[in-house]
A and B are shown apart, each in its own frame.
Chain A
């Protein structure tokens, strides 16, 4: 039964970035996503030890991830907040899962593009890099980022959105040029 374990771990390593992104899409909190992702990893390995051999690893692992996200919210007693909009959150999670299912074929391409992210960040303006650092490295909410840079939250949101768009375009260019841009 345990012969599945190395194969499943190999799949887990191959899919870890997109699986983590899926968890992040559901919780939208990086630290929480890290915590949940570890639990997902443990559950995946436990299932492998039990002999589970999924045909579509990514889809199967996303199913486990959705359960782990639900457990996470339940344990933090956010159930009542979530319950009020439970059906809506469930539908939204369905759409997000559908999005990741559809992008499965393009996943390798996206992962290839993401390898250029670091280079592309360095091409952004100092201010854009500063905003990214505050938001993603220091994990500040938008309002706190706005206070730090003395902007309005709306301006910060627009600037972050533009930075992400610029990064996506830069990554595409890099990938098309074989990273030689």
Chain B
């Protein structure tokens, strides 16, 4: 293979367009050619820098190339300008259901009076609950699509594509390339729940404080020294669906006063979105409360157990945990595909879990499966 072919392989790989055969050929060439390996490092280092660079190329120049450069014919130029104005002002969002159907323009605000679904290009679907207000914003540098959630609750389903999709609120932004998440904003606080993949939150002005939130988690965006959202964790004692209230265990057999659940609160059970009816007595709850003390979000998990892993059946996706010394208790647990298994801070596959090692297991809310299993270095050393 000659140098030109090598470079073509490298370019295909870096562009993400290499076939399996080309990947195999590149791997083989990289194994035998140190100069090609050096070229790979240089090329990708340049790519990395280019990806963080702001280019000073006027947008109009980009548009101009869409039309044939057949000379400065005035009529064509006028037509081109007309087309540019048309395409630049073209509505990019469409109200599908639940509201006055029609297309939206940049800067326009949709105020949902009933459950309303919007389609943003072909990439994103947004479902607004009654009372929510969403504004369509023009794309900005580095952001392919963006909206502003002025108030209420919105569920976003964004197809994974290059280019960021951003949701702005009064407290910051939520950025993703494509995933499923919900946002609740009330002007004083923003809460985001991730039900697929992960998103990034940016709190505050400018570059702000960035945080990654993964599936099954809630996160608040708050600015200023005083947190607008308070959190507390406790065992769920009782649910009053009719009144929209919950009661938490306070220890020594005592129960908290009723705590109101906001109608548009974000509730997660394990890693999925849940309704109040799906929360059960005994679940461990982490609740997020607004200034009035109402619950605006909650995450329900199962209890925790600690023990020694004695059996791992990767095919059946189960493991057995033994706890206690004298009267050892054996607990067999399912290990769902999305269970998080951490060993020394690294995620591992079920088949790679070490045996005869102490582990801490957080259970799913049904108590029969692993939600998250952690083996720390200390636990491993103890097991030796």
Contact = CB atoms under 8 A, between A and B. Distances in A.
A139 interface: yes
B41 A31 contact: no
Interface stretch (A5-13, A39-47, A53-61): A39-47
B66 A24 contact: no
A181 interface: no
A114 B15 CA distance: 21
A24 B48 contact: yes
Contact of B162 (A95, A106, A117, A140): A140
Contact of A46 (B163, B215, B345): B345
B65 A149 contact: yes
Nearest to B42: A168
B55 A164 contact: no
A35 B23 contact: no
Contacts of B142: 137, 139
Nearest to B214: A75
B62 A130 contact: yes
Interface centre among A95, A102, A106, A118 (most CB of B within 10 A): A95
Contacts of B45: 17-18, 21, 110, 114
A92 interface: yes
B219 to A, nearest CB: 14
B11 A160 contact: yes
Interface string B36-65: 011011111111111101110100011001
B61 A75 contact: no
A28 B215 contact: no
Nearest to A23: B48
B210 interface: yes
A53 to B, nearest CB: 14
B62 A134 contact: yes
Given A35-B200, A103-B41, A150 B163 contact: no
A85 B31 contact: no
Nearest to B54: A137
Contact of A126 (B13, B46, B47, B61): B61
B252 interface: no
Contacts of B162: 29, 31, 139-141
B27 A132 contact: no
Contacts of B41: 21, 25, 99-100, 103, 110
B66 A150 contact: yes
A32 B177 contact: yes
A134 B55 CA distance: 9
B16 interface: yes
Contact of B49 (A35, A64, A76, A117): A117
B296 interface: no
B14 A28 contact: yes
A31 B52 CA distance: 10
B7 interface: yes
B303 to A, nearest CB: 25
Indicate the member of A46, A89, A130 with the most B CB atoms within 10 Å: A130
A28 B18 CA distance: 11
Contacts of A50: 345, 377
A136 to B, nearest CB: 4
A176 interface: no
Interface string B1-26: 00000010001111111001001101
B30 A99 contact: yes
A73 B366 CA distance: 28
Q: Which of A74, A102, A103, A129 has the most CB of B within 10 A?
A: A103
A88 B66 CA distance: 40
A165 B55 CA distance: 18
A117 B50 contact: yes
A46 B345 CA distance: 8
Interface string B261-302: 000000000000000000000000000000000000000000
Interface string A86-126: 00110110011011101100100010001001100100001
Contacts of B315: none
A30 B52 CA distance: 9
A85 B23 contact: yes
9 contacts: A17-B48, A70-B347, A76-B160, A98-B37, A99-B30, A102-B37, A133-B62, A157-B11, A161-B7
Interface of A: 17-18, 20-22, 24-25, 28-33, 35, 38-39, 43, 46-47, 50, 64, 67, 70-71, 74-76, 85, 88-89, 91-92, 95-96, 98-100, 102-103, 106, 110, 114, 117-118, 121, 126, 129-130, 132-142, 148-150, 157, 160-161, 164, 167-168
Given A88-B20, A114-B49, A164-B43, 18 more contacts: A24-B44, A25-B41, A28-B14, A30-B51, A31-B177, A35-B198, A47-B345, A95-B37, A103-B37, A130-B65, A136-B50, A136-B51, A136-B53, A137-B53, A139-B51, A139-B162, A140-B162, A161-B7
Interface of B: 7, 11-17, 20, 23-24, 26-27, 30-31, 34, 37-38, 40-51, 53-55, 57, 61-62, 65-66, 68, 141-142, 144, 160, 162-164, 177, 197-198, 200, 210, 212, 214-215, 345-347, 377
